[in-house]
A and B are shown apart, each in its own frame.
Chain A
Amino acid sequence: DAGITQSPRHKVTETGTPVTLRCHQTENHRYMYWYRQDPGHGLRLIHYSYGVKDTDKGEVSDGYSVSRSKTEDFLLTLESATSSQTSVYFCAISESTLRRDYGYTFGSGTRLTVV
Chain B
Amino acid sequence: GQSLEQPSEVTAVEGAIVQINCTYQTSGFYGLSWYQQHDGGAPTFLSYNALDGLEETGRFSSFLSRSDSYGYLLLQELQMKDSASYFCAFVTTDSWGKLQFGAGTQVVVTP
Contact = CB atoms under 8 A, between A and B. Distances in A.
Interface of A: 31, 33, 35, 40-45, 48, 50, 56, 58-59, 90, 92, 94, 97, 100-109
A58 B45 CA distance: 21
Contact of A106 (B44, B100, B102, B104): B44
A33 B48 contact: no
Contacts of A33: 98-99
A30 B30 CA distance: 20
A102 B44 contact: no
B31 A42 contact: no
Contacts of B101: 35, 42-44
Given A106-B43, A106-B44, A101 B97 contact: no
Given A108-B41, A109-B42, A102 B99 contact: yes
Contact of B33 (A31, A59, A101): A101
Nearest to A105: B45
